[in-house]
A = this chain, B = another copy of it.
Amino acid sequence: MTMKRLINDPYDVVEEMIDGYVRAHKDYVKVLENDGRVVVSKKAPVKDKVGVIIGGGSGHEPLFLGYVGEGFADAAVIGNINTSPSPEPCYNAVKAVDAGKGCIYLYGNYAGDVMNFDMGAEMAAADGIRVETVLVTDDVVSSENIEDRRGVAGDVFVFKAAAAKADLGGDLDEVKAAAEKANANTRSMGVALSSATLPATGKPIFEMEDGDMEIGMGIHGEPGVRRGKIEPADKVIDQIMDHILADMPLESGDEVAVLVNSLGATPLIDLHICYRRVDQILEEKGVKVHRAYVGPFATSMDMAGMSVTITKLDDELKQLLDHPCDTPYLTIK
């Protein structure tokens, strides 16, 4: 099947995307003059605030650069499609947003990202700037051990909590603790109904029989728990929620934030049908949804499919997720 994409030279997609992004959202962000792979908030560096830096490979938009702006991330470091950014832009982001209180790196747990962001942090340490890191590890089926799990759409809630803590004046230890608490309380799981197409090859990232789905698949096509024919939405959500709730039991009276996320090509009609079932399950258990998002927040380009993210909340996390922010892809009044 031919690639149904609107691009120019496949090797220019990331540069042209960043150029288009900064043109469209010029009131919010700019690109660093000395590094075209660092998108920085126009407000950064913010006086007396910990610098919040997010990032990773491209192809998951609006993750990561869509969440740079007031009250959210100060900078996003941008890699090629499904590829970690290099250490240099990770370091340059720190230099651009540090306001004397240090910086935090927040990103999904992938080996390449860990290696390169860690090198960026070392380079910053040589300049006397303290950089801490919290890895997001929300994908429940990617490993038995939480610390080995991948980060997927749960990024959004973890980043938001940490960024709000920074915006409220928290020091680097407090911002790190907020991110760690949000991550410890966040679980996600997805389903893929098709592969994304890779611009450089014009081909799908992985093969999938027409009419099949894969439950638990990662956003780069990492293997899930089961492949089979596409099932009704409620049946798919029941399986996803079984995995999430087995890993993080919820009780009557608990409060949560929910993200029903499109991986790209799955429309809002379907996502709201999926949200309905998630909400029914939580309602039956007596769990209260404090905040819900439904839409494309962490995608895999044109992949058909979706994911569910649940974050268990306490008073602090509620305050942090409710804290105002203003970015091109998430604004909270």
Against B, the Cβ 8 Å flags (1 = close, 0 = not) of A301-333 are 110101000000000000000001010110111
Contacts of A269 in B (CB 8 A): 7, 13-14, 17, 58-59, 61, 199, 301
Complex contact B23–A279 (CB within 8 A):
yes
Of the candidates B1, B7, B61, B272, the one whose C-beta lies within 8 Å of that of A210 is: B1
Alpha-carbon gap, A14 to B268, bound state (A): 11
For residue A10, give the distance in angstroms from its CB to the closest CB of chain B. Answer: 10
Give the contact-size bracket for chain A: 35 or more
Complex contact A279–B236 (CB within 8 A):
no
A267 within 8 Å of B (CB atoms): yes
Secondary structure class of chain A's binding surface, majority of residues: mixed
Contacts of A199 in B (CB 8 A): 269
Residue of B nearest to A270 (CB): B6
Complex contact B268–A61 (CB within 8 A):
yes
Q: Which of A218-255 contact B (CB under 8 A)?
A: 230, 232-234, 236
A216 within 8 Å of B (CB atoms): no
For residue A271, give the distance in angstroms from its CB to the closest CB of chain B. Answer: 8
A145 within 8 Å of B (CB atoms): no
Alpha-carbon gap, A206 to B272, bound state (A): 25
Of the candidates B16, B58, B306, the one whose C-beta lies within 8 Å of that of A6 is: B306
Residue of B nearest to A266 (CB): B6
Contacts of A9 in B (CB 8 A): 232
Complex contact B267–A16 (CB within 8 A):
no
Residue of B nearest to A306 (CB): B6
A24 within 8 Å of B (CB atoms): yes
A275 within 8 Å of B (CB atoms): yes
A189 within 8 Å of B (CB atoms): no
A8 within 8 Å of B (CB atoms): yes
For residue A7, give the distance in angstroms from its CB to the closest CB of chain B. Answer: 5
Complex contact A8–B295 (CB within 8 A):
no
Complex contact A16–B273 (CB within 8 A):
yes
Complex contact A292–B24 (CB within 8 A):
yes
Contacts of A110 in B (CB 8 A): none
Q: Which of A160-177 contact B (CB under 8 A)?
A: none
Against B, the Cβ 8 Å flags (1 = close, 0 = not) of A30-70 are 00000000000000000000000000001101100010000
Complex contact A233–B8 (CB within 8 A):
yes
Against B, the Cβ 8 Å flags (1 = close, 0 = not) of A268-284 are 11111111110100000
Contacts of A333 in B (CB 8 A): 324, 326, 331, 333
Complex contact B20–A267 (CB within 8 A):
no
A87 within 8 Å of B (CB atoms): no
Contacts of A292 in B (CB 8 A): 23-25
Complex contact A272–B4 (CB within 8 A):
no
Known: A4-B265, A24-B272, A25-B294. 7 other contacts (CB 8 A): A6-B230, A16-B273, A17-B268, A24-B275, A62-B268, A324-B333, A331-B332
**Shortest beta-carbon contacts, A-B, top 6:** A20-B276, A20-B272, A2-B211, A61-B268, A265-B265, A331-B331
